[in-house]
Amino acid sequence: MAKKIKDTDYLVISARVKAMETGLLTRERMEQILEAKTDEEAAKILQECGYGELDAADPEAMDAALSAAREGTLSDVMDGAPEPRYIELFKLKYDYHNVKALLKAEAMGTSADRMLMDMGRVSTAVLKEAVRSGELDSLPPMLASAVAEAREILDTTRDPQLSDIALDRWTYADMAALAEEVNSDFLRGYVAVQIDAANLRALVRTVRMGKSPEFLRGVLMEGGEVAADAILTLSANRGSGMNEVYGPTRFAAAAEAGAEALRGGPLTEFEKLCDDAVGDYLAGAQYVPFGEAPLVGYLAARETEYTNLRILLMGRGAGLPADVIRSRLRASYV
């Protein structure tokens, strides 16, 4: 286990993060963008907030601009972070996303280029060649093992869903390993709450699809606060009792929305509340004066901001009513 860096080593970067938080898009700012009379007016507000041109009429260009903003944020804090591996937490998920895209494209005999996101620890060019050649030594060890297992599953079963499930497991295992390497309780908690969100989503989706508890057993991740056995019991009961199991947790509202989704309601609100529960955990970083928590919390808040901007701008571009767009925005702690 790595030697734990002292909280006081984060005094400088924590102070800087607190200052940078003032640049996060507030709910009021997002409301101004939402209610802007014209796209030009919305663009002007975004420019005042430090964003370049974000045009919903060109989703690829918009995603590229948001990716550039994300990379700029990570680079901005990298040099001042006593433990740069915290930055990896916000990169490694893109490695696994890219592996999913590459393996599916390979199985279908198509190109994955349009689905790749060059925001991971490993460049898409290096990852693409490693997957193509099967020479995985250039990849981080856990990622290499994930590629090998996912490919074997896909080759054996021809089922991309099972391959994706394996890669999701490796994603959270990689995050958990990183939390152990840097010896961070806050990061351990962040990984656990994400696993709880993933397991609750899996429960609701599989019950809606009529899948058995045995199928769900193969999907559930270990490491969350809600025990897998309790979730499997809920599955056997077709979701009955969710409010009792999740009521004492930060997922109470999400579980209530999940129960409604099982009665035929939409999944949109349920998905949003799962994300909001993860955000609720991160919001606690605001009250920590220094340490790794403010850094991780700020970077996660930026991730939520990019998600909200995409929801907001794509919704405006599609002509959705303001109330519909507003209901889909994820909670932010500013």
Whether 7 shows a pLDDT value over 70: the answer reads no
Would you put residue 102 in left (φ > 0), alpha (ψ -120 to 50) or beta? alpha
Local confidence band at 1 (pLDDT 50, 70, 90 cut-offs): very low
What the block records as the tokens of 240 is 């009955």
Specify whether the CB–CB gap between 150 and 160 falls below 8 A. Answer: no
The answer regarding whether domain 84-183 maps to CATH 3.30.70 reads no
Q: Which of 45-49, 228-232, 275-279, 283-287 has the lowest mean pLDDT?
A: 283-287
SS3 call for 94 = helix
CATH number of 1-83+289-334: 1.10.132
Whether 334 shows a pLDDT value over 60: the answer reads no
Q: What is the mean pLDDT of residues 51-73?
A: 77
Q: How many residues in total does the chain contain?
A: 334
Work out the percent of the chain whose per-residue pLDDT is above 70.
92
Alpha carbon distance 3, 51 (integer Å) = 38
Local confidence band at 2 (pLDDT 50, 70, 90 cut-offs): very low
Q: Which of 16-30, 129-143, 248-262 has the lowest mean pLDDT?
A: 16-30
Whether 159 shows a pLDDT value over 80: the answer reads yes
Residue-level pLDDT at 289: 59
Local confidence band at 315 (pLDDT 50, 70, 90 cut-offs): confident
Residue-level pLDDT at 238: 92
Rg (CA), the chain: 20
pTM value surpassing 0.85: no
Q: Which of 100-114, 145-159, 257-271, 319-333 has the lowest mean pLDDT?
A: 319-333
**How high is the mean pLDDT of the chain?**
85
284 vs 3, more confident? 284
What are the residue ranges spanned by the domains of the chain? 1-83+289-334, 84-183, 187-287
153 vs 25, more confident? 153
SS3 call for 162 = helix
Q: What is the DSSP letter of 5?
A: P
Q: What is the mean pLDDT of residues 56-83?
A: 76
265 vs 153, more confident? 153
How many Cβ atoms sit within 10 Å of the Cβ of residue 33?
22
Alpha carbon distance 220, 215 (integer Å) = 9
How many Cβ atoms sit within 10 Å of the Cβ of residue 109?
6
Of 191, 186, 151, 178, nearest in space to 167 by CA: 151
- Report pLDDT digits (tens) over 126-140: 999 999 999 999 999
- Note whether 1-83+289-334 and 84-183 share their fold: no
CA angle 151, 154, 159 (to 5 degrees): 155
Question: Counting beta carbons within 10 angstroms of the beta carbon of residue 321, is it exposed (0 to 12), middle (13 to 18) or buried (19 or more)?
Answer: exposed
102 vs 40, more confident? 102
Alpha carbon distance 331, 328 (integer Å) = 9
Of 239, 98, 100, 91, nearest in space to 165 by CA: 100
Q: Which of 56-70, 113-127, 215-229, 291-305 has the lowest mean pLDDT?
A: 56-70
